[in-house]
Structure 1
């Protein structure tokens, strides 16, 4: 997201408000189909998260994201997409870089049963880059942006259908994960339309409440489901358990706080939702293969910051 406002058909919300220096990780509560108003890319002062899938089409120049502890550069004419609940931040861009940024509700992706590998890669934290760019993509993305900003509900529904088809073409024509992740991916197989809103509600609940004291049962109840049924549905749909998703989100929050704040490790652990330091250290080292203090020092030195 840029530091311009998002405009959608319901309300305007700031994309990059003044950040509290003690807690610079911003989590946006908007879940709707919308577009970034500004074309110019700006560097951000801290990481942020949001529940939608974000699509970036770079019109000119190039931009560098900090994404889940990695630096990824997207240049002119490239199209990428990722899940906004993975902490991300524009840390650099060439002067005058322009892009089109679209925000798509999770339900659009959850409903694409034929794209299980593609869809599940997104929810596992992949940054998907389309390998095939069509000559008309620039014009089409510009039109989609204009129509989303127009507030015309009929046009917005057409954009939803057209954009869904474009995503299906990305899967068909070829894509790569810019983070070069490889993983075993799950599929729901036989489905009905009923599962999509349930899984979306669970993902939202985790994104909004993981720093608090929540359990897998809480996540299931938030979607109006029996906990055992919810656990099975979530596992088949997303490819990980509810508890794994909760821990993943807490670790995403922790790594952002380690990089962007000077909070003591103990506070980082509890602010991220971990009930004990030992649990935090164990989970952090399993995922990042180093201790939190080492991770903070390495990332700060890489960014040219002094480390105490």
Structure 2
């Protein structure tokens, strides 16, 4: 799954998942749960979603599963942001999503038992299925319940063996400094590596170059500003770290498939 995908649509799936070879983004709310700990790199942060918990985050933030689920099945649900915004979700919940939080309900049981619903929803959400409308209503109710149930954030920074420490440190530094004029040499210096070696180990671990990951972080910030502020497009481009307006437009369209103003209008901003 590459970073150019704009959305996975309203969809769900359940099964064993290998570590993701590429850090990627898509414009959905992503819900997932598994019977084992899930180790992610999300927006430059190492995050462990505890076994049995239900987690949700805005997948426009660069993210990657860095340790496979073994033989255990991960259940996930994606809801396009434009659709979710029409479901009158709590404003505080959406603000937390746009800010890059990973929200967690302690246990995915009862009304939040995503794994129990995936099998029927995965079939019924198909466009031509006679029960699609009913399934969409059930998903909407599930999402509303989850939005009211989740705690502030998933535990972060817990030790994990799925990602090299120097790569995790580089990704975290890039995410923190994405709005600045930074170079590969600046990133490499944070972990005391030669720039060429830093580029090599980063791409081998995350499937994208340092420059591509930096662009993902900047686009995520631009999306947040487009939805949460009334700032003009040139100001947003500058605040997100783009050196020119033309570069911003090109990168934004590459990642989302549309211009910034169209993105803002589609989401009611």
When normalised by structure 2's length, the TM-score is 0.55
Deviation (angstroms), 1:63 = 1.9
Question: Which residue does the alignment assign to 2:227?
Answer: 238
In the TM superposition, 1:213-228 aligns within 5 A as: none
In the TM superposition, 1:48-87 aligns within 5 A as: 48-58=24-34, 60-87=35-62
Change (3 A) 1:48 1:114: closer
Q: Quote the Cα distance in structure 2 between the aligned partners of 1:172 and 1:159.
A: 20
Question: Which residue does the alignment assign to 2:91?
Answer: 116
When normalised by structure 1's length, the TM-score is 0.49
Deviation (angstroms), 1:274 = 6.4
Question: Which residue does the alignment assign to 1:266?
Answer: none
Question: Which residue does the alignment assign to 2:181?
Answer: none
Change (3 A) 1:112 1:131: farther
Q: Deviations over 1:65-111 (max 9, x none)?
A: 10011111123321111111100011113422311122111123212
Structure 1 unaligned regions, length at least 5: 1-14, 17-25, 181-206, 220-233, 255-268, 276-308
Change (3 A) 1:247 1:69: farther
The residue matched to 2:39 in structure 1 has which SS?
Answer: strand
Structure 2 unaligned regions, length at least 5: 157-214, 250-269
Q: Quote the Cα distance in structure 2 between the aligned partners of 1:238 and 1:30.
A: 17
Change (3 A) 1:51 1:247: farther
Change (3 A) 1:247 1:110: farther
Change (3 A) 1:133 1:46: closer
The residue matched to 2:15 in structure 1 has which SS?
Answer: coil
Question: Which residue does the alignment assign to 1:156?
Answer: 132
The residue matched to 1:27 in structure 2 has which SS?
Answer: coil
Q: Quote the Cα distance in structure 2 between the aligned partners of 1:85 and 1:95.
A: 26
Question: Which residue does the alignment assign to 2:144?
Answer: 168
Deviation (angstroms), 1:31 = 5.6
The residue matched to 1:177 in structure 2 has which SS?
Answer: coil
Number of equivalences: 183
Q: Deviations over 1:33-81 (max 9, x none)?
A: 1234x611111222101112111122x3232110011111123321111
Q: Quote the Cα distance in structure 2 between the aligned partners of 1:70 and 1:35.
A: 25
Q: Which has the higher contact order (CA 8 A, sep 6+)?
A: 2
Change (3 A) 1:62 1:247: farther
Question: Which residue does the alignment assign to 2:10?
Answer: 33
